Every structure is written in C-alpha cells, then in structure tokens.
Structure 1
C-alpha cells in the first residue's frame, strides 16, 4: 500500500470550554474519496480546517504529503484545494472572472476553460455569481478548489441545500474529479452520500472517531439487526401476528416482530442474517401467503446506532467550531 497522502493523529481542538474535536485519527490514501461523516456539530469542519492550516490544534499532528500543516500551512498551498461551507463571492463577479482571479494566485494553475468544461459550467461562464442556482454555485466552488491543480481537494458539506437531482448530479461530478487524479476528502452529514461516494470513511460523533472502514465493511460488520417486512392481506393480519409471535418465542434466529409505522398490515421481523430462512418455512407451515415480503437493507445509519446507542439525526449536541461563512477558497486559505 502507498504511503498515506494525509495523516491525522490524535487531533484535539477546543473553543474555550467547548471541545469541538476530542481525539480524531485517520489516514487517507492517494486517489481515494475519503469521507468524514457525522451529524452537524460533530467536529467535521473543525477537523478539515485544522488539517488545512486554517485553525490551530490544541494537540495532535496533521500531515499532508509529510508536511506538518500546523507548522507550515503555506507549504501545502499548492497541494491542497478547499471548498468550505457557504464560501462567498461578490454578487457581480462572473464565473469566468472568479476562476481567472483565483488562477492568478498560483504558479501553475489549471486552465479555467478546462475546469468550466469538466464541471459543466461553460454555458454559465459569463453569468454573475448572484444569478447562479445552488447547484451551479456548488460546481463553481469545486472549480475554485481545483484551480491551483491540487493533489487533494477538501469538499465540505458540498450538497447541503441542493434538491435531490442536483445532489446526484454533484455526486457524478465528484467522481469525475476523483477520476482525474485528485484525492478527495468529503465532509458530509448525508449517510446516502457517504455510502454512494466514499471508498473509505470515518464516522465522527462528539469530536471522536466511532467507526472507520469502507461503507460495505462497516455495514457487513454489524451483528444482528437484519429485517424482513411482511405484508398480509387484511383478513390474515391477526393470524399473521399470532404465528410470528410463536416464531419469535421458539426460534433463536428471530428476535422480534412489530408493526411498521401506521400500516397495520405490515410487520417488521428482525433477527440474525438467517431470519428469512426461518420466516418463510413458518409462514408456509401455517398456510399463510403474504402479499409481499421484502428485506430491508442495512445502512450507515445502523452503523451509527450500533456505535453510539442512538439513532442518527443531522443535529448533534456538540456545538463545534465558530461559524466562518465568509471564508473563500484559495488553495485552502481565507
């Protein structure tokens, strides 16, 4: 395996008495999309801003290509491109003007026209920032993060506020950027986004890493928790409940059965990975033919629940870092 391109070790950052990042460690390999996933306020943005040299750590080390970004943040200026949350540009600047302006900060910038084409911004090149849609602004943010020809791009909450279609379009662009040779650190609180895009990831909660691995490794590593949803015809619901109750009592592979939401005809049967093998013969023996049987795929939300003991929501009790809504990308500098 190649040497990591990014190494974070035992990072800690506080704001007064508030602990934003408690003990975060991870390593990123060249060419991958590495996710930093967690609820709002978990410490994700503080972690990557410290990595980029925009904030000073209280403890721990952060290295990009072997360079300590805390001691020498300027040394990673041409290595690291950053798209921060709510990065702002002047309302009247056009897309092309913004790229040309930022290109002037670098000795070997990317060709603005190439970035316009790659990020589907060529038709909007002469449109002012204020007139761009949310998705177009996000694509411009990616372009600005890439204008310095960085080896690594930090994309922080890239799709927040976008509609589902714009979000999926942006995911395709992120994969296109990775395929061009750029290593990506993707900061997100969207479970589906992390599961779709990330080669590997860490899940952060309250400033700590609670899980690390590929999405598939983390999901497959869960014990129990497999669910099969059965829908009965109205006349079979009560008998189905009774038979499933008997099955729960007698079969160690089946852990429980309960109604799904407000649908009295649907029952969720939970158990081990063999729960389906127990359920189908039991229904056949009772001469119960369900209208529908479907397995429920587990997700990173189940991983979060397993490691924290609570359901995943986008909000967290941790306040995290002070908000910096005026930071503008320029190779990771404000």
Structure 2
C-alpha cells in the first residue's frame, strides 16, 4: 500500500454558534486526486484553509507528508503547491519573473529556480510567452501559469481551488491534460470544483460535503451506482410540467421538476420513452445515463444557495 500523503482526522471548525466543518475525516494517497464537491456554504473553503494552515481547527488533527499541522506548518508548505480560485500573479512581472520570484519564497537558490523555469513554461505551453506579463495572457494561459508557479518547488501534494473557473471549454480541457500528467508522475491532488464533468474526469475519489458534514465518499461511478437509478429521461416543452401529476410517473422510480424540465429516474427507460412517444409526441426528450450532476443534486438538493 502506498504511503498516505495527507490525513485529516475529525476536523471541526466553529464560528460563533455556527459549525462550518463538522467532524470531517479524509485521506489522500500518492498519485490520487481527491475531489471535494458541495453547494455554497458546504465548508469547502474552510476545509482548504485548515489544510493550508491558514485556519486552525477547533478539533481534529492534520498530518501531511509525515508531518503535523500546525506544528510543522513551514515544512509542510515547502512541499505543497497551491492554485487558488483567483489569480494572484504579479502583473508587473513577466511569466518567467513570476516563477523566479515565487521560487524565492521557498528559499530556493536562484540558479536552481532558473534551471526549472524552461521546463515549467513548456509544461504550461507558455514557452513562447516567457517575457509576456499576465495582463497580456488569456484566462487559460494565466491559469496554466498559476499551475506552473505552484510546481516551482516540485511539490508532492497540490491543493487546487476551482482551478478552471471562468475558462472556455478548450482551456479547461488543456488544464485537465496537464493535471493528468501530474497524477501520472505520482503527485497527489486535492481538488475543489463546481464542474461535475471535471470531477468525474479527474478524481479517483469524491468527498461530498453539505452543511459542513461528509454525506458521501467514494469513487464517482460507485457513488452513482449506489445512490441513483441507471437511466434518466429529461422531458421539456409546452406541457411537460403537467407530467408530474400524470400516470407516467408510475413508470419511473423517482421524478423531479427543475424549472420547466421533468426528470424521470428509472431502472429501464424503454417503457417510459415509448409511452411519451405515443401520448406526448410534441414534447422533447433526452435519454441519458445517470451522472455526477444527478448525484450532486440528489444528495444536496436543487435549491440555489447564495455564497456565504
């Protein structure tokens, strides 16, 4: 069995009377990506802050890389790479200079940093932008530069907070490719994301949080099989909402309404699709397998939650 790189045990954090993280435990192994998903206010950010030593838990322990947080905070951070949700690149420095200055924060010798810069820029597909400043880069380029900067100290564990927020599909896919390379190299990743396709593509295991508590944990496909029916039929169009009160509901194990779309969750979609074709030919339907978004919505609800 590989050595566990990161182990959080019974983490609890309170602010006043509110418990924002409640008895949370998880671990990460080398070469593994653990995804943390949950609605706004689920405790994801506070969890990340405790992992980074920025917030001290009221209860619980964190061990990382064979060391203990917060006692060995500096030694742990020396082996961590962090990509925050919002860019913190220095706008006055070029891409190369951003990497150089960041490496100095780790006490690295300048020759050692300069030796790493070409390979880091190549990894981020930014070799041709070495002298460009962040303001001259696209959003995807800036995110890749942030990732390259997080790798300057050759960390064993990466903490990525919403790393592809605001990127177009092409930029997201390129970022995913780079993260897969890091996992193949044996680096571990703790990833928070709101994109369920990202979680399904990158994460070996998922941690689902709600109201500060772990409500599910496991491999994405295992969680889907455990909590959901295999087939989903989405029905929309004029009159679709009325299906919620129709006998067709009996052809599904479970139905949900979101906006003007009715979701039928079923073990076998064929009888339902045939009935819809006969009785409601003008309605539009989409038949698909259950996915992580369905899991997320079942476990945490469809109610929109504000930040905070």
Would you say same fold, with TM above 0.5?
A: yes
Shift of 1:26: 0.9
Q: TM-score, normalised by structure 1?
A: 0.77
Residue in structure 1 matched with residue 61 of structure 2 by the alignment: 61
Q: 1:291 to 1:42 in 2, by over 3 A?
A: closer
| SS class of match (2:227) | coil
Q: TM-score, normalised by structure 2?
A: 0.83
Q: 1:89 to 1:231 in 2, by over 3 A?
A: closer
Residue in structure 1 matched with residue 217 of structure 2 by the alignment: 212
1:134 aligns to 2:139 (yes or no): yes
Shift of 1:44: 1.3
**d(CA) in 2 for partners of 1:287 and 1:18?**
51
| SS class of match (2:39) | coil
**d(CA) in 2 for partners of 1:50 and 1:160?**
22
**d(CA) in 1 for partners of 2:236 and 2:194?**
33
Would you say the 8 A contact 2:95–2:132 is kept in 1? yes
1:270 aligns to 2:264 (yes or no): yes
Query: Relative contact order, CA 8 A, sep 6+: which one is greater?
Result: 1
| SS class of match (1:295) | strand
Shift of 1:8: 0.9
Shift of 1:149: 0.7
Which string of whole-angstrom CA distances, capped at 9 and with x for unpartnered residues, describes residues 169-201 of structure 1?
A: 222222122223321111112222212211111
Q: 1:260 to 1:10 in 2, by over 3 A?
A: closer
Residue in structure 1 matched with residue 252 of structure 2 by the alignment: 254
Residue in structure 2 matched with residue 145 of structure 1 by the alignment: 150
Q: 1:229 to 1:302 in 2, by over 3 A?
A: closer
Shift of 1:99: 0.9
Would you say the 8 A contact 1:69–1:75 is kept in 2? no
Would you say the 8 A contact 2:233–2:287 is kept in 1? yes
Shift of 1:133: 2.2
| SS class of match (2:158) | strand
1:170 aligns to 2:175 (yes or no): yes
Q: How many residues align structurally?
A: 301
Residue in structure 1 matched with residue 293 of structure 2 by the alignment: 301
| SS class of match (1:181) | coil
Gap runs ≥5 in structure 1: 320-334
**d(CA) in 2 for partners of 1:223 and 1:13?**
31
**d(CA) in 1 for partners of 2:41 and 2:263?**
34
Mapping for residues 17-28 of structure 1, pairs under 5 Å: 17-28=17-28
Would you say the 8 A contact 1:84–1:155 is kept in 2? yes
Shift of 1:167: 2.1
**d(CA) in 2 for partners of 1:217 and 1:165?**
28
1:190 aligns to 2:182 (yes or no): no
Would you say the 8 A contact 2:82–2:150 is kept in 1? yes
Which protein has the larger Cα radius of gyration, Structure 1 or Structure 2? 1
Gap runs ≥5 in structure 2: none
Shift of 1:92: 1.1
Shift of 1:122: 0.8
Shift of 1:87: 4.1
Greater shift in the superposed pair: 137-146 or 74-83? 74-83
Would you say the 8 A contact 1:89–1:129 is kept in 2? yes
**d(CA) in 2 for partners of 1:40 and 1:257?**
25
Which string of whole-angstrom CA distances, capped at 9 and with x for unpartnered residues, describes residues 89-138 of structure 1?
A: 33211110111222232447671111100111111110112322221221
| SS class of match (1:204) | strand
